[in-house]
Amino acid sequence: MTAVSQHRKRTSFKIHAPPEWGIEPVPLAERKLGFVDFAVLWGDLGIGLLVLLAGSFLVPGLGLAQALLAIVIGSAMGSALLAIAGIVGSALGAPTMVLLRPALGIRGSYLPTALNILQLIGWTIFEIIIMASAANAISQALFGLNSYALWAVVSAAIVMLMGIGGPLVVIRQWLSKVAVWVMLATTLWLTYRLLSTNDVAALWSKAGDGSLPFWVAVDIVISLPVSWMPLVADYNRFAHEPRGAAWGTFVGYFITNVWFFALGALILLTSQLNQEPKEFATAIALTAGALALVILLVDETDNAWADLYSAAVSTQNIFPKLRQSVLIALMGVLSLISALVLDVTQYENFLLLLGSFFVPLFGVLLADYFVVRRRNYTTDELYRATSSIQWPAVAAWLVGVSVFQLTNPTFLGAYWADWTSIAPTALGAIGGSIPSFIAAFVLHVVLARVARARR
């Protein structure tokens, strides 16, 4: 071997593909993330253009003061559920859909897994649409370039590359070192602009028009953190201890969810624009400047990355031999095509639909883990659990979904006008999240104890 070839061998480098953990437990040596890492991760995932858009749904149905109260209550409840669900993943090192196997059976876990894949692809499509819309608004204003399709392709490509990179790379190298600080500065600037250029006192004293019940507004707020519950263990399984991960998850998500929901409500009240992504992006640019919108746009890739990555991980719960990187690429292309041909409608109802399924689902999971089995899940139960469907647990889940639709008939009422007259009016005052979670939790505990007594 010549001196030149030896030198090349010493100085050359190889690009190694990141490890694909799939659905197997993360090795203890790779569980490296702590409180700060999870506060950064979930704080960043609580930031986004779609969170601002969701905040706009609370007004003018509620006044600003009522909307803020709904935001605080909903964020506290949803963030607590998110953090508690993450504890199970941190303790076992397994992704979320695998954690459902002891309660529902392996085949029983396929139903929520399929639903989760659909909703995650839906979220990815929404994210690409709003990123492309925001980027197009910026390029059109600054350079006269009007090409939504171009920005959709660019957005999807970035998200797919991040998905293939994996959680440890994104959290440690991008979020913690760069994104969190840039986003903090941008959010402070947007907040300052809204408060300094508008008569917030007048808005605070103005009542809502009454078109949105208070507890339905709370359900909308809860739906954002709850929409992350089917993903939470996909990331919290990298925690070196559950308690720090849980507190980091709660603190990070609660702060940013409150902050961005409130900003979204303020933007709509002060801009008087429609609750539509393209107009909303324009309102942000007019309020805080194009640079702030650019930074928010860049940060939005983190949300789309998490959706796409977890869609692949969830798919592996059903098809464990499929390559994660291949799934990410295929689902990314599918999301891109959908973003190019679909228009965003009924977004509010989409959020409520997610909550109606996943709030009671995690009522079943948390009841099974903390009460029925008293934290005694084992690896064998996750990967060699009974393959048959555990129908009592599925029944408890579906009863919880039904309770949600009765106590919050908004979603079905949007598609079936008679549903709001069928559902008891008095029940609609309490919202769907709390009753559905309690119903699924209690019913699963009762059915599990009945089955144990029979055995």
Q: Is residue 440 part of a domain?
A: yes
Structural domain tally of the chain? 1
179 DSSP assignment: I
Dihedral in degrees, nearest 10, Cα atoms 74, 76, 78, 83: 170
Q: Is residue 282 part of a domain?
A: yes
- Token pair for 76: 């506290």
Q: Is residue 20 part of a domain?
A: no
Q: Cα separations (Å) of 58 from 63, 64, 208? A: 8, 9, 9
Write the burial class of residue 22 (CB in 10 Å: 0-12 exposed, 13-18 middle, 19+ buried). middle
pLDDT of 279 over the 90 cut: no
Q: Is residue 420 part of a domain?
A: yes
pLDDT digits (tens, 9 = 90+) for 28-47: 888 999 999 999 999 999 98
pLDDT band at 154 (very low <50, low <70, confident <90, very high): very high
Q: Cα separations (Å) of 87 from 114, 167, 175, 311, 394? A: 23, 17, 22, 20, 22
pLDDT digits (tens, 9 = 90+) for 167-207: 888 888 888 888 888 888 888 998 998 999 889 889 899 99
Q: Cα separations (Å) of 245 from 80, 216, 323, 443? A: 12, 30, 28, 29
SS3 of residue 283 by DSSP: helix
| Single pTM value for the model | 0.85
pLDDT digits (tens, 9 = 90+) for 177-187: 888 888 888 88
SS3 of residue 419 by DSSP: helix
**C-alpha 23: how far from its chain's center?**
19
Residues contacting residue 240 through CB under 8 Å, at least 6 positions apart:
31, 32, 33, 34
What values do phi and psi take at 96, rounded to 5? Answer: -60, -50
Q: Is residue 175 part of a domain?
A: yes
Residue 48, domain CATH: 1.10.4160.10
At residue 343, the pLDDT reads 67
Q: Is residue 12 part of a domain?
A: no
At residue 11, the pLDDT reads 40
Contact between 108 and 361 under an 8 Å Cβ cutoff? The reply is no
What values do phi and psi take at 239, rounded to 5? Answer: -80, 140
Q: Is residue 283 part of a domain?
A: yes
Q: Is residue 18 part of a domain?
A: no
At residue 13, the pLDDT reads 36
pLDDT digits (tens, 9 = 90+) for 348-379: 567 667 778 999 999 999 999 999 999 988 87
174 DSSP assignment: I
At residue 171, the pLDDT reads 87
The mean per-residue pLDDT over the stretch 332-355 comes to 77
CB atoms within 10 A of CB 196: 8
Q: Cα separations (Å) of 64 from 208, 215, 272? A: 8, 15, 14
pLDDT digits (tens, 9 = 90+) for 384-408: 766 789 999 999 999 999 998 888 8
At residue 16, the pLDDT reads 45
Beta bridge partners of 239: 33
The mean per-residue pLDDT over the stretch 435-445 comes to 96
Query: Using CA atoms, how far apart are residues 84 and 93, in angstroms rounded to an integer?
Result: 15
What rounded mean pLDDT belongs to the chain? 86
Q: Is the dihedral of CA 83, 84, 85, 89 positive or negative?
A: positive
**Domain region containing 161:** 33-454
- One-letter amino acid at 26 equals V
